Each structure stands twice: as C-alpha cells, then as structure tokens.
Chains A and B, each alone.
Chain A
Amino acid sequence: MTVNYKSVFDIIGPIMIGPSSSHTAGACAIGRAANSIFKDKPTEIVIHYYESFAQTHKGHGTDYAIISGVLGFDPDDSRVPYAIGLARDQGITITFIEEAGDSPIKHPNTAIVDLENDSKKVTVAGCSIGGGTIEIREIKMDGFDIKPKGPLPILLVQGGENDHQNVTKQLADLTKVNDQQRYQTARGNMYEYDLDRRLKHEEITKLAENHTTMVYL
C-alpha cells in the first residue's frame, strides 16, 4: 500500500480558496512544485491537462490555481483567483492545452507543466490524488529525466558522491529515506530521495546550507 496521506492535516485541511481540493488546491500544489524546481521567473508557461483535468478545469478553477502555484502562492492566498491576470501583467505567456489522450502518468487528474525562460526549461508531471495531496511522477530539468514513484516529500540534490554521503548523513538524523535513485548525465549526477515525513522549515533551511541547488518538494 502506498502511503500518500502521512499527516492528519492532509485529511483535515488544507485551508484553501474553493472550489475543489483536487482540482484547485491540488493544482496549486502542482504549480508550486514546478516553481520550486524552476527557482526563477518563467516567461512562458504551458499547461497540458489530461482526463478529468482536461474535462473540468474551467469549472474547477484549475487554471488560476495552477498558475497561482507557479507564482508561488499558498492555496489560501486571496490572490489565487486572480493569478492568471497577475502573471500576464508580469509579461508571462500562458497556454492551456486540453490533451485528448490518456494521462501519460496514469492518473485521471494529471497536469504537465512546462516552464521556460531565456536560460532554462523544465517539465513537471504531477497528479492530484484527492484532498489537495499530489504526486510528482516525472521531472525534466538540467538534462535529467527524473521519474519518482510519486508520493511527496521528495528531495533532489545535484552533485557528486561526496554530496550524496553528506545528505544521507544529514537525513539519517531527520527521517527515513523510503527510496532513493541516482540519475547520471555527462554533466553530473542527480540524487533523488523519497522521504518518510515532511521536513520542517528549519530542517530544510539547514540542509540547503550545503546544497544550494537542492530541490525539496
């Protein structure tokens, strides 16, 4: 059994702007994940919707929610319903595509987010599994094609064996690592750690001190 709901606040919560936890708060969370990975301001956002997301995104406020996440808003931020206008005011081009086929990551609530600017491009495939909780099942960044199992939290660290040893040691004091993978390209390694529990803000900050390009989802 996959344990996606690790906290009581995944069930009683989140506090959010309506109307749908899967299609609004969850969409916001997928956008936020893409924002955490991109770590910069995009000039172009392309959202691909599949299945239930493709059929009902307009009615569920999925469009403004996912853009609000890309802008880094929390799901209960009062600016959430106005996110598309706010993004366009910043000169960001936004495209929504309703894909006809089945979800490539095999979930009815799927959104694939492409973020791009002059210096980089990332692709994040997420699905919203209910109650605002999401999974991230594919990330394309810096030449890496990362395919996590899905459940969060996920930690991504670029670097060498030393960095891996260092992170492993730090994580050992914090939580169990349920799964880990290494991805290799000519430019280096990417280490993925699937963590057993969500880290607290100060724990993430401490980890990031030695790994400035680290991504915590």
Chain B
Amino acid sequence: MYMSIAELVSASMTQHQPVYELMIAQEMATSNCTREEVWHTMGRNLDVMEAAVKKGAAGDGVYSTTGLTGGEAVLLKKYRQTGHTLSGDVMMQAVQNAISTNEVNAAMGVVCATPTAGSTGTLPGVVFALQDRLDLTRDQMIQFLFTAGAYGMVIANNASIAGATGGCQAEVGSASAMGAAAAVEIAGGTAEQSAEALAMAISNLLGLVCDPVAGLVELPCVKRNAIGVSNALIAADMALAGCTNKIPADEVIMAMDKVGKGLPRALRETGLGGLAATPTAIRMEEKIFGKAQAKA
C-alpha cells in the first residue's frame, strides 16, 4: 500500500505507469477482486456522480427540507447561458456541477461521497467539466477517479478527511487536492506535477474551518465546494505550467493534520463557532429546531 505521495510518484515514474494503474493493481491485491470487478464498481460511482450533477441543475433544481439551500445550480446554469461569466465557462461549469451535487446531498438525495458527503461536489465538479473541456471518454473519467482515490488514500491515512477531526480543510481541502492531482494526470502531466498540484491545492485551503449552520451540511458547505473545484483547476493549471509548491506534498499533508488538531473544537463540526455562531445562523437554527443549542 502506498503510504506517501513520494512513494506513489516514485512508483509511477520508475514503473512507467500512470497512478490509476498503480491504484487498480493495489485495489485488486487488497480486495482479492478482478480488474473487471473494481473497474465496474468505480463505474457505478461515476454514474451516481453524473446523476447528481444533472439532477441539481435540471428543471427548477432541488431544495433541502429546511429551505436553506437549493436552486442555485439552476441559477448558475442560466447565468452561464448569457455567455458573460467573469471566470470563463469551464470554471463556471465546474462550479455548477459542484453546487448541483451538494444541493442534492443537502436534500437527502443519493451521492457518492468523495471523500466525504460534505465535499461530495468537488471531484464530480472537476471531472464533468473536464469531460467537455478535454473530450474525455467514460474510461478516462473512471481512470480519473482511480487517480484521485490513490492520492486521497494517502491523505486520509496520514491526516484526516473528517470535519470533526480536521476542519473543512480535511474535507473540501482533501477533495480539492485529489481533484487537482487527477486533473493534472488526465491532462497529460507527470506524477510529479500531480504531487505539486496536490500540495498547492491543500496549501491554499489550509486552516479552513468546519462551521455548519445549525449543524446542517448546507451553509456554508454547499458553496465551499465551489472553492474546492476552482482551487483544484487553478492548482492543476499552475502545476502544468511548471509552478511548484516548494514545500513537498507529504509535508503539506502533515501540516494539514497538525493544523486540524490545533483547531478549537468550536470550529470542528460542532456548529458552535464560525458562521454557525453568527446571529443570523442562530435565528435559522431556532426556526428549524425550535430552540437554540448552547453556543460556546
């Protein structure tokens, strides 16, 4: 099992294999499954992602039962149709995909948690935008997910992917890093460039807190996935341009772990600090649950 980004990059370089192939081989060995079985399972995950990307942006969109989130993927879709977005259509398509997926999640719809449900829109946001941008086949999109998974496993086993342990940097930060690394590979970059993209993506989101309003995975979670996808694409582009993070990826992951452990409990998925502790958030919580829970 690959325990560090350095090991993963070195294996990819010396064996002349893309990271997705290394991941598939490792999965076959650890699960005692055939290549067809693991490929099929990943394909199902891709299908679930695609369904959520489409569902949130179709018709009038989806809305959560609390009414705090929903319908904004549709707003983005209509805005994109004007052709005058500031950040360009690839970026805004990625953002729309991410928001759409997380709106489905907040509405208790079916999603594929990547790596978590709170950060579930980031990876689909990237891969379905790149599908159009790079004309990706279904097989290439499945490869993208194996690559993202390989990098994500290293992050999860060395740091954390839980908001309650590491803050949102552990969720959207990890998802963004996985997306950045996989985007580099699918665009033809090297594993070393993937590692740089991962390192830059995490570095950019280091310290991001987990402060869900009323303890719901809605505000600010849904829109944090917009920053997750955009950060992933920007980090991937920087790495493909030859920019480097200077601090190696494995050290960045260790830093994220330490930052997470140092965050006060109020900022680790307790709904007690950050945006969750604002007067408006407390009013929302009272309206939804009838009474305010004690605030730290």
**A positions within 8 Å CB-CB of B:** 1-25, 51-52, 55-61, 76, 81, 107-109, 128-133, 174, 196-198, 200, 203
Give the complex CA separation of A60 and B105 in angstroms: 11
Given known A-B contacts A8-B150, A12-B45, A19 and B105 have beta carbons under 8 A apart: yes
In this assembly, does B35 line the interface, its C-beta being within 8 Å of a C-beta of chain A? no
Interface footprint category on B: 35 or more
Note all chain A residues with C-beta closer than 8 A to B218: 19
Asked if B157 contacts A4 (CB within 8 A), the reply is: yes
Asked if A76 contacts B110 (CB within 8 A), the reply is: yes
In this assembly, does B198 line the interface, its C-beta being within 8 Å of a C-beta of chain A? no
In this assembly, does B125 line the interface, its C-beta being within 8 Å of a C-beta of chain A? no
Note all chain B residues with C-beta closer than 8 A to A107: 165
Give the complex CA separation of A17 and B217 in angstroms: 13
Give the complex CA separation of A174 and B31 in angstroms: 10
Asked if B164 contacts A52 (CB within 8 A), the reply is: yes
Give the complex CA separation of A200 and B37 in angstroms: 12
8 contacts between A and B (CB under 8 A): A3-B1, A8-B153, A9-B42, A10-B153, A15-B112, A109-B165, A130-B160, A198-B31
Asked if B215 contacts A56 (CB within 8 A), the reply is: yes
Asked if B164 contacts A51 (CB within 8 A), the reply is: yes
Which residues 141-185 of B have a CB within 8 angstroms of A? 145-146, 148-150, 152-153, 156-158, 160-166, 170-171, 178
Q: How far is the CB of A8 from chain B (nearest CB, A)?
A: 4
In the complex, residue of chain A having the shortest beta-carbon distance to the beta carbon of B64: A19
Asked if A129 contacts B162 (CB within 8 A), the reply is: yes
Q: How far is the CB of B263 from chain A (nearest CB, A)?
A: 11
Which residues 91-127 of B have a CB within 8 angstroms of A? 104-118, 120, 123
**B positions within 8 Å CB-CB of A:** 1, 3, 23, 26-27, 30-33, 38, 41-42, 44-45, 48, 104-118, 120, 123, 145-146, 148-150, 152-153, 156-158, 160-166, 170-171, 178, 212, 214-218, 265, 268-272, 288-289, 293
Asked if A17 contacts B108 (CB within 8 A), the reply is: yes
Note all chain B residues with C-beta closer than 8 A to A16: 110-113, 117
Asked if B1 contacts A59 (CB within 8 A), the reply is: no
Give the complex CA separation of A19 and B116 in angstroms: 10
In the complex, residue of chain B having the shortest beta-carbon distance to the beta carbon of A61: B108
Asked if B156 contacts A108 (CB within 8 A), the reply is: no
Asked if A4 contacts B156 (CB within 8 A), the reply is: yes
Give the complex CA separation of A156 and B262 in angstroms: 36
Q: Which of B106, B148, B214 contacts A18 (CB 8 A)?
A: B106
Note all chain A residues with C-beta closer than 8 A to B271: 55-56, 59
Note all chain A residues with C-beta closer than 8 A to B157: 1-5
Q: How far is the CB of B129 from chain A (nearest CB, A)?
A: 18
Q: Which of A25, A56, A76, A133 contacts B269 (CB 8 A)?
A: A56
Q: Which of B30, B38, B113, B289 has the most CB of A within 10 A?
A: B113
Give the complex CA separation of A3 and B3 in angstroms: 9
Note all chain B residues with C-beta closer than 8 A to A128: 162
Q: Which of A5, A7, A18 contacts B105 (CB 8 A)?
A: A18
Q: Which of A4, A17, A130 has the most CB of B within 10 A?
A: A130
